[in-house]
Amino acid sequence: MAAPEPEAPTTAPARAKDHSPWNWLLFIPIVVPLIPVFFNGDSPRVFGFPRFYWLQLAYILLGVSTTTLVYQMTKKRGDR
Amino acid sequence: MWRDHLTEIIVFTFLFLLVSVMGFVAARWRAPKDMAHLDEWGLGGRSFGGWITWFLVGGDLYTAYTFVAVPALVFGAGAMGFFAVPYTIVIYPLVFLVLCRLWSVSHRHGFVTPADFVRSRFDSPVLALLVAITGIVATMPYIALQLVGIEAVLKTMGVTGESALARHLPIIIAFAILAAYTYQSGLRAPALIAFVKDALIYVVILVAVIWLPQKLGGWGSIFDAAEAKFQATAQNPNDGILLNGNNQLQYVTLALGSALALFLYPHSITGVLASRNRDVIKRNMSALPAYSLILGLIALLGYMAIASGVKPLPGSKPGTADANTVVPVLFDQQFPDWFAGVAYAAIGIGALVPAAIMSIAAANLFTRNIYKEYLKRDASPAQEANVSKITSLVVKVGAVACIVFLDPQFSIDLQLIGGVIILQTLPAVALGLYTRWFHRTGLIVGWAVGMGLGMWMLYQVASPTRKHFGGSAFPLSEFGFDTTRTIYVGIVAVAVNLAVAALVTLALRAAKVAEGADGTTPDDYFADEGDPRVTPGAERDADSAREPVA
């Protein structure tokens, strides 16, 4: 990629502020809910819900916990 | 007859009038010193904290039409309609970091619309104009569809008439009130009303999912009743409570494509830019899925309607059924009158919040990227605010006219198209936030090809009742593949758009065609609240690169 070179060294600390290995975790709740083999079935049923429905609703928890974790781990400390 | 629904009508009208008063009072809520500025009228002073943003963006994304149409789809097609759940799960991690960058660069440069950003980033008024027009065209039918949501409720309450005017009079009055307080209070009106809307929705849905399954013999028998209905009807081979081999790809690509499109819509971006800082956005990306849970439960109302034997009310033409009335009829059958009235008010008010935000977003696009760019370059902030206020009125009149004078099916078709065309701004707006590798002309050519291909594919899609524009599931056999699988049109169109943009970029770079100057610096994408380098008023559109400041 021929993205513009960061010309001034002043930009480096700002970039560092937003880049974190924790961000890679965000791929989990993007990819997992889009794999039909996991959820496209009837059994087991939970409270009468076929797997198709309870598992996809459970993915909401996956999404919430991942974004919360990434937010907490990448939160800027002390400088605001 | 409406007399049988008198209690419902009284409760509905009372709650509707209550939020109308709130809409007018909102002008004084968190009042600015000077309302005559687009930042104040159109973005609520860019000052909303976590809670307000949560209600505002939630009220904005999960619209009345969604609440009516998603269960209607589940009622008619089964599992396919549940795509709304994975769609609204993957969206937040997907845009978690992207929106922060957009917020930062917009905060520092005073951008109000996505087209403002594109103009400065790629130094191309033409590309910005295309992004603005795409946004306006995609938003207009969306506003009209909110009216379809209100109409489904009114129809169930028996508020109908013989002539077209009598039938539409309640909607015209409702939108006139909405237009008046949006004109006066700007984005503050929907932000305040969103509290009431969401409180009502949460109460109604919690009651519905606890109370109705008990009456209908438990969740297990609700799903069994749905399965039995889909087995019994043979006209659509792809319905059922699970997906089959043919529509899995469609399900996944539709969820992903819709997720990619959602935050390209101008009204979603308006909600995000109105927040106070990056932290508010990040926290909201974790908190907004609460609405996805509600949406998932609302989708299941479609099965409850099957289990309780709901028959949708007849459509506007003889012999057709209006599937959108499924949920209102279910409430009418199962709830006591007064609570059905509350539920209808939730849907009705649920239409007002997004309709207000969408009209504001469309008005901002017109003001910033057409009026200021082409008609009056030296417009003052007060003039900008004024033009936006008037445009928001015009937009609403247009939406009402669409519903009154045209077949509502036309708006539904347009909204289907809207999702596909707004995706074509992805390379310029979303990827543009990360890289300036694409050449501005490459992006324009890619946009044009993506639009053309998307429209052609949508035209080819047939449904059991229609020859063209029958949906967004494109049969891969049309491309010559030996399969019965289908795929979401938008994903294919945007992939081709990207490929074309990349090829044209390489060609233009080889030919050394000028690329224009980038009006933003890498540092802009990380600016936060209290940033000392926020560009004030008049210099906002300065295209020249700024001096790096230590």
Task: Convert the pLDDT of each residue in A38-70 to its tens digit.
Answer: 988 888 888 889 999 999 999 999 999 999 998
How does residue A15 score in pLDDT terms, banded at 50, 70 and 90? Answer: very low
Flag whether the ipTM exceeds 0.85.
no
Residues 6+ apart with CB under 8 A from B296: A53, A56, A57, A60, B82, B84, B85
B523 lies in a domain?
no
Query: Per-residue pLDDT tens for B80-138?
Result: 889 889 999 999 998 888 898 999 999 888 898 999 999 999 998 899 999 999 999 88
Chain B residues with CB under 8 Å of A36 CB are 243, 248, 251-252
Given A7, A30, A52, which is nearest B241 (Cβ)?
Answer: A52
**What's the rounded mean pLDDT across residues B194-214?**
88
Select the more confidently predicted residue: B151 or B238: B151
The crossing angle, in degrees rounded to 10, of helices B164-185 and B6-25 is: 30
Chain B residues with CB under 8 Å of A11 CB are 521-523, 548
B509 lies in a domain?
yes
CATH code at position B112: 1.20.1730.10
The answer to whether B531 contacts chain A (CB < 8 Å) is no
How does residue B172 score in pLDDT terms, banded at 50, 70 and 90? Answer: confident
How does residue A17 score in pLDDT terms, banded at 50, 70 and 90? Answer: low
User: Nearest CA to CA, how far is A40 from chain B (Å)?
Assistant: 6
Given A29, A42, A49, which is nearest B89 (Cβ)?
Answer: A29
> Would you state the structure tokens that stand for residue B190, as one six-digit string?
């929907």
**Residue of A24, A32, A60, A66 to mutate for B, most B C-beta atoms under 10 A:** A60
To which H or E segment does residue A35 belong?
Answer: none
HSE-CB for B125 with a 13 A CA cutoff: 10
Quick check: B236 pLDDT over 60? yes
User: Nearest CA to CA, how far is A78 from chain B (Å)?
Assistant: 14
How does residue B504 score in pLDDT terms, banded at 50, 70 and 90? Answer: very high
Quick check: B449 pLDDT over 90? yes
pLDDT at B317: 67
Q: How far is CA B259 from CA B61, B88, B273, B467, in A?
A: 11, 7, 19, 27
Q: Tell me which of B247-251, B478-482, B544-548 is least confident.
A: B544-548
B549 vs A40: CB contact, 8 Å cut-off? no
Sequence spans of domains, chain A: 21-74
How does residue B290 score in pLDDT terms, banded at 50, 70 and 90? Answer: confident
The answer to whether A27 contacts chain B (CB < 8 Å) is yes
pLDDT at A58: 92
Using a pLDDT cut of 90, give the percent of chain B over it: 17
The answer to whether B296 contacts chain A (CB < 8 Å) is yes
Q: Tell me which of B18-27, B365-374, B383-392 is least confident.
A: B18-27
Quick check: B535 pLDDT over 90? no
Cα dihedral sign, B426-B457-B448-B366: negative
B543 lies in a domain?
no
Select the more confidently predicted residue: B479 or A2: B479
pLDDT at B319: 65
User: Nearest CA to CA, how far is A11 from chain B (Å)?
Assistant: 5
From its phi and psi, is residue B254 left (phi > 0), alpha (psi between -120 and 50) or beta? Answer: alpha
pLDDT at B244: 83
Quick check: A35 pLDDT over 80? yes
Of B163, B202, B488, B251, the closest CA to residue B349 belongs to: B202
Given A3, A53, A60, which is nearest B437 (Cβ)?
Answer: A3
Q: Position of tokens 């919430």?
A: A64
**What's the rounded mean pLDDT across residues B182-206?**
86
- Structural domain count, chain B: 1
Using a pLDDT cut of 70, give the percent of chain B over it: 93
**What's the rounded mean pLDDT across residues B427-456?**
92
Residues 6+ apart with CB under 8 A from B99: B263, B272, B281, B285
The answer to whether A11 contacts chain B (CB < 8 Å) is yes
B115 lies in a domain?
yes
Quick check: A12 pLDDT over 60? no
pLDDT at B501: 94
User: Nearest CA to CA, how far is A21 from chain B (Å)?
Assistant: 13
**What's the rounded mean pLDDT across residues B142-155?**
83
**What's the rounded mean pLDDT across residues B229-254?**
82
Query: Per-residue pLDDT tens for B303-316?
Result: 999 998 888 887 76
| B residues 227..286 contacting A (CB < 8 A) | 241-243, 248, 251-252, 255-256, 279, 282-283, 285-286
pLDDT at B133: 92
Select the more confidently predicted residue: B544 or B407: B407
- Rg of chain A on CA atoms, in Å: 19
Select the more confidently predicted residue: B9 or A19: B9
Select the more confidently predicted residue: B519 or A1: B519
pLDDT at B534: 65
Given A18, A23, A63, which is nearest B289 (Cβ)?
Answer: A63
How does residue B537 score in pLDDT terms, banded at 50, 70 and 90? Answer: very low
pLDDT at B466: 75
pLDDT at A80: 43
Residues 6+ apart with CB under 8 A from B51: none
**What's the rounded mean pLDDT across residues B189-210?**
87
pLDDT at B39: 81
The answer to whether B516 contacts chain A (CB < 8 Å) is no
Residues 6+ apart with CB under 8 A from B297: B205, B208, B209
- Separation CA B198–CA B68 (nearest Å): 15
The answer to whether B425 and B476 have CB atoms below 8 angstroms apart is no
B522 vs A6: CB contact, 8 Å cut-off? yes
Structural domain containing residue B143: 2-513
Query: Per-residue pLDDT tens for B507-530?
Result: 999 988 888 888 888 888 888 877
User: Nearest CA to CA, how far is B526 from chain A (Å)?
Assistant: 6
